[in-house]
Structures are given as structure tokens and as C-alpha cells.
Amino acid sequence: MGIIYKLITIISLFSTPFFYVPAALNREASEQLIKAEGEKEKVGINLKEQIKRIADIAEKIKELEGDLDNKNREYIDLIEGRKNLDIDLEIAAKELEDLAIKIEQTQKSAQTVLNGIVVGTLNDFQEESDLIVNQLLEQEVKKLLEELAPLKVAIVEKKGQVEQLQSKIEEINRNCLDIESAIRGMEDEKQNYASEYVGLVNSRDEIWSDIKNNKIQKQLAATRPVGNLDQKLLEAPVRNYTQLDYNKKGITYKTKGVVPLYSGGKGEVVYQGELSTYGNLVIIDHGNDLRSVVLGDFIAKVKKGDVMDKGDILGYTASKAAQFGKVYFEVRIKDKAQNTIEFVERESLTSNSITEKKKI
């Protein structure tokens, strides 16, 4: 039931617009970005190719979501079909059991009558009444045997029906496993595209900001010193969570109910918007090429250009009181994902109540 519920939840998300491309470039902006192509030796990036790649990723995600929609609907159709077959199998199995019981009872009755006939024939002094009784018993045996013949035919047919239903159910189960595997593969592929999309949007927005303010510098090719690790530590964006999972890139917080989200440090909001079915996305530039990314099912209370201090409210999780939600947090340097857990203040992790903490 868990995976069915999950798949139905996924399908319900497909009714929303497939992909939100933030701050679509107007004609003037596009012309300025294309003109900046001549300055690529300074910035080290081909802007035209970058913009094309962003559009390509959006199209690929749209195609993947269409494929996922079809696969999920196919999966649900299979589950519904299996449910009907399970009912048919239960009925056929019960009918098979009833036939077996009836055949057994008929055979016992026939055997009992035959035993009576045998006992009667052993008597050397049979009266006319005994002969009449034997005749009646013989007629009864004949009747029982006549009833038994169609029952044996029926039980063979019923066994065939049961085996056929079992075979169909096994085939559906195999198809379900294939679809589940395909769905997992497409979800992983979509996640990779989404991660690449975030990096490209970060880079594009930074270049566009530099062009707009006439501040294109060669510094884009190298990371400026940030200082010691303690100076780079950020506060966890979630203080009240039930579970924390992390891998070599980001941290996923599991929350319950409406929970506030916080800015990890001082900086400027350089992007706020939606990212397909993943939820809201907020990116904060903390300076020195250090950025933090918050992605998930939450309601943002900030907008692009807002200046944040450490601990300022970014928004609130959108879950209801009894519902669970997830928020993803990632730290990037020069738009390259870092081992985020190393950039988070230990105090902001250990102060939380964690039911489980694991490394992926």
C-alpha cells in the first residue's frame, strides 16, 4: 500500500504546471546576454550555450514527467486489474473447495450404499423384501455415480480457472516490478537534471547581474579565499525536525507540521521561485562565492533582493499539523555542490531532536 499511495501522490502533482522557469529573460535582457558573448574570454562561459542548456533541461524534465505520468497510470491500472483478479481468484478457490467437499460427500454416500448391498448379498436366505431393498440400493448407487461424473468434470475446469488466474496475477506482479524499476530510474534522472538546472540558474543569474552592473571580472575563474572553516559555518535552516539524512552533497530534513525555516547566514536572496514538482527554491548569496540552497514544500516569506541575517525567517513548511514534509539544504561554492554537513554549525544539529540520523 505504501508504494501505491506514493504513486497516487506523485500523479496528483502532475496537475500542476510541469516546470517553472524563473524570471524569464525579456528581449532586452536576451540581447544583452548574447552581446556578452564577446566578453566570454573574461567570464570563461559561453552564455548562449548556457541559456540553450537551461531550455534543453526544462524540455527533458517535461518529457520525463510525461513518461512518469504514463508509467504511474499504467502501474495503477495494473494494481486495479490485480485487485479484480484477486477477487475472482478468491471466488474460484472457494468454488473449487466446495466442489471437492461435494465430491467427497458423494463418494462416501455411494460407498455406504455399496456396503449395504454387499452385506445383503452375504445372507443365504434372502426374502423378497431383501431383494427389493437391494434393488433400491443399486438405484441409489447409480444415481450417486451419475451425480459424481459432472462434479469431476467441473472440478477439473475449476482447477484450470484457478491456475489461469494465478498465472495472470504473477504476470501482473512481474510487470509491476518492471514499472517500479523504470520509475525509480526516471526519478533519479529527473533529480540529476534538477541539480544541474540549479547550478546553471545560479551561474546565469550571477553573470547577468555582473553584466547589468558592468562588473564582469576574471574572478569567476577562481574562488577567492573564504578564510578558516569556522568563518564559513552556517546555521541549519531547520531547527525543529524529526529526522536528518545527508550524503556527500546535501542534507534532507524531515519535518512534521508547520515549521519555520531560517537563513543560514548573512547574505542576499538571489533567487526565489518554484522548481517543477520539487516545491519552492530559495538561493542566498553569502559572498565569496558561497551560496546556500533551500528546496522543498514550504511557503517562502522572502523575495529576490532581500538582505538576510543569520537566523532570519525564510518561510514556513507547508505541511499541516499531522503531516510530514521534507526540506533539502545544500551549500555551493562557485556553483559546485559541497559536502554540506561540514558547513553547518554543529550546535544547530545537536540541539535538534533526531529520531534517526544516517549517511547515504
CA distance 137 to 148: 16
pLDDT computed for residue 267 by the predictor: 94
Give me the mean pLDDT over the 347-359 stretch. Answer: 53
Phi-psi region of 263 (alpha: psi -120 to 50; beta: other; left: phi over 0): beta
**Cell output for 150:** 459432472
**Number of domains the chain contains:** 2
What CATH number has the domain bearing residue 263? 2.70.70.10
Residues 167 and 144 both lie in one domain: yes
Please indicate whether residue 154 or residue 218 has the higher confidence score (pLDDT).
Answer: 154
Residues 208 and 87 both lie in one domain: yes
Residues 297 and 328 both lie in one domain: yes
Residues 37 and 150 both lie in one domain: yes
Weakest mean pLDDT among 59-68, 88-97, 225-234: 225-234
Residues 211 and 301 both lie in one domain: no
| Amino acid occupying residue 221 | A
Question: Does residue 46 contact residue 37 with C-beta atoms inside 8 Å?
Answer: yes
pLDDT, tens digit, for every residue of 108-132? Answer: 876 776 666 655 555 555 555 555 5
pLDDT, tens digit, for every residue of 228-239? Answer: 434 458 998 998
Residues 155 and 299 both lie in one domain: no
Residues 279 and 349 both lie in one domain: yes
Q: State the CB neighbour count (10 A cutoff) for residue 248.
A: 11
pLDDT computed for residue 27 by the predictor: 42
Residues 217 and 228 both lie in one domain: no
Q: Give phi and psi for 305, each to the nearest 5.
A: 100, -15
Asked which of 175, 201, 222 is the last residue of a domain, the reply is: 222
Residues 215 and 83 both lie in one domain: yes
Task: Provide Rg for the chain, Cα atoms.
Answer: 36
pLDDT computed for residue 292 by the predictor: 95
CA distance 332 to 148: 80
- Residue range of the domain that includes 210: 1-222
Asked which of 165, 190, 222 is the last residue of a domain, the reply is: 222
Asked which of 222, 249, 264 is the last residue of a domain, the reply is: 222
The pTM assigned to this predicted structure is 0.39
Q: How confident is the model at residue 102 (pLDDT cuts 50, 70, 90)?
A: confident
Residues 8 and 72 both lie in one domain: yes
Q: Is 264 exposed, middle or buried (0-12, 13-18, 19+ CB in 10 A)?
A: buried
pLDDT exceeds 80 at position 133: no
pLDDT computed for residue 312 by the predictor: 95
Residues 9 and 50 both lie in one domain: yes
Contacts of 342-351 with C-beta under 8 Å, sequence gap 24+, read 342/229, 343/232, 343/233, 343/234, 344/233, 344/234, 344/235, 344/236, 344/251, 344/264, 345/233, 345/234, 345/235, 345/236, 348/235, 348/236, 348/239, 349/236, 349/244, 351/239
- Report DSSP letters for 143-154, one per residue: HHHHHHHHHHHH
Residues 281 and 307 both lie in one domain: yes
pLDDT computed for residue 225 by the predictor: 36
